[in-house]
Amino acid sequence: MPVLPSWLTEPLWEQFAALLPMRPKFHPGHPLGCHRRRIGDRAVFDKLLQLLRFGCSYEAIADATCSATTIRSRRDEWIRLGVFAQFKRIALESHDRIVGLVLDRIAADGCITKAPGGGEVAGRSPVDRGKQGLKRSGMTDGYGIPLGRVLAGANRHDSPLLAATLDLLDDLRPLPDDITVHLDAGYDSDKTRALLAERGLDGRIAHKGEKAPVQASDRWHVERTHAWQNAFQRLARCHEHHTTVINAFFDLADTVITVRSLIRRAWTTHRWDNRPNRHP
């Protein structure tokens, strides 16, 4: 069974391939010009999707078509070129152009996941007996499309990460005049309200001590998006040590979520080549 359906992987690969530089099959500096061929980028891309979805080790996913060393080196090469970040940005722009991002309603929240091997942004988890964990302060639009995240140790509180999370809105300009930020009771403080007022944002914050159903708001969109991201096992149980690599996998997962939502929502209103025969 493929890691993702073909109606999703093919458009993902076509756009990803367009961002990669042209490379010869053989290294031009080789004296005989006949050393081992360069592993195809498509094979490495498919392996990265498998790593993202299943969360296994590089050695476990490697086979005769692609070694673990090749996966790591090609991954690092693409990170240096900024391919993953550009990939996510194009997906957001496409979603905004075709369907539209709901930027007048923003939701932000933190999510703690396991980080058994530690790493640059890991910390003691207060919900897992002090084991190493990773926190992401995520932000979504009013539908749940992931707009970005800030990584920190699991011991960090959500509230101090809000400013850095809201800074990600600068990459999405122009923005609506009136933006409402939906937050849970962990952000219920005068400092948070002052932060929102300073940025010209309206806040709808749950109050501490009141039951959630009574004050339900649109922040459930970000909670659903956290669940979508945790379906990718490499994010739910992070073994990567470097922040750049973790962000690259998050960018790849966010792109999958965005394009999947775009295809599903545009299926009833648009026509295009290779459109799925049935509603995905």
Nearest to 88 by CA among 274, 277, 247, 270: 247
Structure tokens at 212: 């959630």
Query: Helical H runs in 172-215?
Result: 190-198
Q: What share of the chain has pLDDT > 70, as a percent?
A: 94
CA distances from 256 to 13, 121, 217, 232, 249 (A): 11, 24, 26, 10, 11
pLDDT for position 100: 94
| E strand or H helix at 109 | strand 105-114
- Counting DSSP H helices and E strands in the chain, the numbers are 10, 6
Q: What is the mean pLDDT of the chain?
A: 92
- Cα–Cα nearest to 85, from 260, 261, 245: 245
Beta carbons within 10 angstroms of residue 244's beta carbon: 13
Alpha helix stretches (DSSP H) within 159-205: 162-166, 190-198
| φ, ψ dihedrals at 182, nearest 5° | -100, 125
239-270 pLDDT, tens digit per residue, is: 999 999 999 999 999 999 999 999 999 999 99
Residue range 91-133, pLDDT digits in tens? 999 999 999 999 999 999 999 999 998 999 999 999 999 999 9
Digit-coded pLDDT (tens) for 202-213: 999 988 877 766
pLDDT computed for residue 215 by the predictor: 64
pTM here is 0.93
Q: What percent of the chain has pLDDT over 90?
A: 81
Tell me the one-letter amino acid at 168. L
Query: pLDDT at position 249, please?
Result: 98
* Residue of 87 and 218 predicted with greater confidence: 87
Residue 136 CA to residue 121 CA, distance in Å, equals: 10
In this prediction, residue 1 has a pLDDT band, given cuts at 50, 70 and 90, of low
